[in-house]
Amino acid sequence: MAGEETAANLTAVQQVDGMLAPIKSFLEKVLRLARLKMSVQVRAAQPGEYAPDTPLYVVEISGPDADVVLDSHAAMLDALEHVARRVARMDETLHPLVAFDCHQYRLSRLDELKLTARIAAEQVRERGEPFALGRMNSRERRVVHLTLRDQQGIRTESQGEGLDRHLVIFPDSKAR
């Protein structure tokens, strides 16, 4: 069984390796056509760098026009990531293996989400009342769920539809 899992992991790594050059080329072309002064680098991720996910690679977009890519809560970065994955025909199961970032925006956002989650969880434990966090994409909600999964006295739940999807931290009724 372990041998099958290792073979599957090796296959996934090989698949991702083959997608990196097309992703980089596509992003460079889009940024050039958009006349943005940006560059794209692909590098190996450092262990734990984007925890709770453990990507193998980081696609870094950087340059003087970063403010355009990061405007509106990094909407363009999200769009570039989405389209680049589609162009490379990356299976959804491989998404966690490649992180996309611009001027460490996503790293900072991860730290912010984890801190917010811990503070909100403490507030829920103290007051005994649910706490709703603002709208988040699925990746951000996942970070909060994973950050709080082992916390005593609370539970998390995603609520809402579409763009209004958010996360609520509840007091855990079993802890009372």
Per-residue model confidence (pLDDT) at position 32: 97
User: Which residues, in sequence order, are CB contacts of 54 under 8 Å at separation 6+?
Assistant: 45, 47, 48, 96
Please give the share of the chain, as a percent, with pLDDT higher than 70.
93
Average pLDDT, the chain: 91
Per-residue model confidence (pLDDT) at position 6: 64
CA 52 to chain centre: 9
Q: CA angle at residue 89 from 57 to 35, to 5 degrees?
A: 70
Whether residue 148 is predicted with pLDDT greater than 90 in this model: the reply is: yes
Give 78 or 173, the one with higher predicted confidence.
78
The residue ranges of every structural domain in the chain are: 2-103, 110-175
Please give the share of the chain, as a percent, with pLDDT higher than 90.
76
Whether residue 1 is predicted with pLDDT greater than 90 in this model: the reply is: no
Phi and psi at residue 46, to the nearest 5°: -80, 145
Whether residue 81 is predicted with pLDDT greater than 70 in this model: the reply is: yes
Name the CATH superfamily, with its identifier, for domain 2-103.
Answer: K homology (KH) domain (3.30.300.20)
Contact 171, 120 (CB under 8 A): no
Whether residue 155 is predicted with pLDDT greater than 90 in this model: the reply is: yes
CATH number among 3.40.50.10300, 3.30.1370.50, 3.40.605.10, 3.40.1180.10, domain 110-175: 3.30.1370.50
